[in-house]
Homo-oligomer: A and B are copies of this chain.
Amino acid sequence: MYKSSFDIDLVCNHFNSSDSIMSFVTIDDINPKVLKCEYAVRGEIVSLAQRLQQDLQENPGSHSFDEILYCNIGNPQFLNQRPITFFREVLALCDHPAILNKSETQGLFSADAIRRASEILDQIPGRATGAYSHSQGIKGLRDTIAAGIEARDNFPADPNDIFLTDGASPGVHMMMQLLLSSENNGILCPIPQYPLYSASITLHGGTLVPYYLDEATGWGLEMSELKKQLEDAKSKGITVKALVVINPGNPTGQVLSEDNQRDIVDFCKSEGLVLLADEVYQGNVYAAEKKFHSIKKVVRSMGYGETDISVVSFQSVSKGYHGECGKRGGYMEVTGFCPEIREQIYKLASVNLCANISGQILASLVMYPPKPGDESYESYNAEKEEILSSLARRAKTLEDGFNSLEGITCNKAEGAMYLFPQLHLPQKAIDAAQAAKSAPDLFYARRLLDATGVVVVPGSGFRQVPGTWHFRCTILPPEDKIPAVVNRLTEFHKAFMEEFRD
């Protein structure tokens, strides 16, 4: 993503050459933590894809494919997924409440969307959707979200524990900022991981302590591995502050069992680790035999209360069946911290003023959607089920496609939006990558893109067991494009294996 500091100095000095005094800011003036940070999801491959896309527009027919097939990022509406009508009706009415009581509005919006928008406006002081809210978010919306969590978990949720955020990412950053003050502070993260974690830990100056998911058991989370890595970190003088769990997994797609979650909870409790639960894919479970259980529900079902363990759960409007990435809505539910630490979290939220109000409203809709009997329920539910069943079919088709190929093995996507197939590459391909000064999976992904227009993210961006190579492929292209993804990839892969056969 960035060049060596030698290259950079050359370019910056050239840029600066018109100035006789060496006054201009150079790369050496930049925070080294920023330089060190990597964020592969928007890295080199994406830039190349954007160039190819422009090329196709300007010179149609210049490549062997006629469109770019984006399988690199969890951005459903970018790939033609339609938003849920009820959600957008409510958002539009809250944006422009002046039309709420006009007769034409009855013809344009469903009755329960009008009712829901009115209720939401009543919950906002002065009905002002253009005002900063309470730093944690609008109280009435937090009440609704807490009610949604209670309905999901069958355990109480407290609106005062909810912090509304602009998507899940700012919540993660806030917790890293709270917990990390030096390289001697560690965070246990699954490997492979969503690169937000490695980026945020690097930016906040801490150390990522990896625990490897076991690919052979469907990306299983082994307690022995957690213990080993924690001891290893301790022996290096690292104080581990927290453990990140991503469930359903990103990029790995597994759904944790309740038993496994109980073990994790006990481990965090006995080791005094904050449990950071990334649960943004809670609405995306495709395996019939699997069910999402929130970590907080598991904690409470074990009889643990507010003073037993610190748990932060992250949720987002960007994922699920709704996929409202552009709205930047989400929340974190913060439990098990003493009041003085809570006050520090509140202060950090306050420095950022508040999350955007449309995102706040959408988070409340996602956690408390139309119910059976509501006017919009049937159409809402049909939209939802159509999206989720299609995602399940797409996941299966891609998984089967990958597994039919020589030198690719791929676990099932039980949930989330991704497959993370392993590439078993011939030595010649690895040598060729090395000769090209590239990681083998980056080499593969670049060649794949060049040859087919299919965009995937190399596994290196998520980290992986050293010596293994993967890529992340979303299940999000429109269903009618999935065969093209499989066909193009199959054709490319066969030719690639032929080219580099040992």
A344 touches B30 (CB 8 A): yes
Bound form: Cα–Cα A178–B28 in Å: 11
A326 touches B29 (CB 8 A): no
A347 touches B2 (CB 8 A): yes
Q: Given A307-B19, A358-B356, verify A179-B132 contact (CB < 8 Å).
A: no
Bound form: Cα–Cα A383–B313 in Å: 43
A307 touches B104 (CB 8 A): no
Within 8 A of B (CB), among A217-274: 241, 269-272, 274
* A77 surroundings in chain B (CB, below 8 A): 126, 128-131
Bound form: Cα–Cα A241–B29 in Å: 8
* A96 within 8 A of partner (CB): yes
Chain A: number of interface residues, binned into ranges:
35 or more
Minimum distance in angstroms from A209 CB to a CB of chain B: 16
* A31 within 8 A of partner (CB): yes
Within 8 A of B (CB), among A145-170: 166-167, 169-170
Minimum distance in angstroms from A107 CB to a CB of chain B: 5
* A341 within 8 A of partner (CB): yes
* A436 within 8 A of partner (CB): no
Which residue of the partner chain, among B1, B341, B358, contacts A12 with CB atoms under 8 Å?
B341
* A199 surroundings in chain B (CB, below 8 A): 351
Among A84-92, A401-409, A455-463, which stretch is in contact with chain B? A84-92
* A93 surroundings in chain B (CB, below 8 A): 92
Q: Given A108-B102, A203-B177, A358-B358, verify A26-B324 contact (CB < 8 Å).
A: no
Within 8 A of B (CB), among A334-387: 337-341, 343-344, 347-348, 350-359
* A500 surroundings in chain B (CB, below 8 A): none
Nearest residue in B to A15 (C-beta to C-beta)?
Answer: B338
* A131 surroundings in chain B (CB, below 8 A): 75-78, 325-326
* A83 within 8 A of partner (CB): yes
Within 8 A of B (CB), among A19-61: 19, 21-27, 29-35, 37, 39, 41-42
Which residue of the partner chain, among B31, B76, B352, contacts A181 with CB atoms under 8 Å?
B31
A167 touches B30 (CB 8 A): no
The 8 A CB mask of A270-314 against B (1 = contact, 0 = none) is: 111010000000000000000000000000000000011010000
B355 touches A307 (CB 8 A): no
Which residue of the partner chain, among B85, B130, B170, contacts A324 with CB atoms under 8 Å?
B130
A–B Cβ pairs within 8 angstroms, 27 of them: A2-B340, A3-B340, A8-B340, A11-B339, A11-B340, A24-B310, A25-B337, A26-B338, A29-B179, A29-B241, A30-B344, A34-B344, A39-B350, A78-B125, A78-B131, A92-B99, A104-B104, A104-B107, A104-B108, A131-B325, A132-B318, A166-B166, A169-B352, A177-B203, A196-B351, A199-B351, A356-B358
- Given contacts A11-B340, A23-B270, 13 further A-B pairs with CB under 8 A are A11-B339, A15-B307, A31-B180, A37-B347, A39-B350, A75-B131, A78-B128, A80-B126, A91-B95, A104-B105, A130-B327, A166-B356, A356-B356
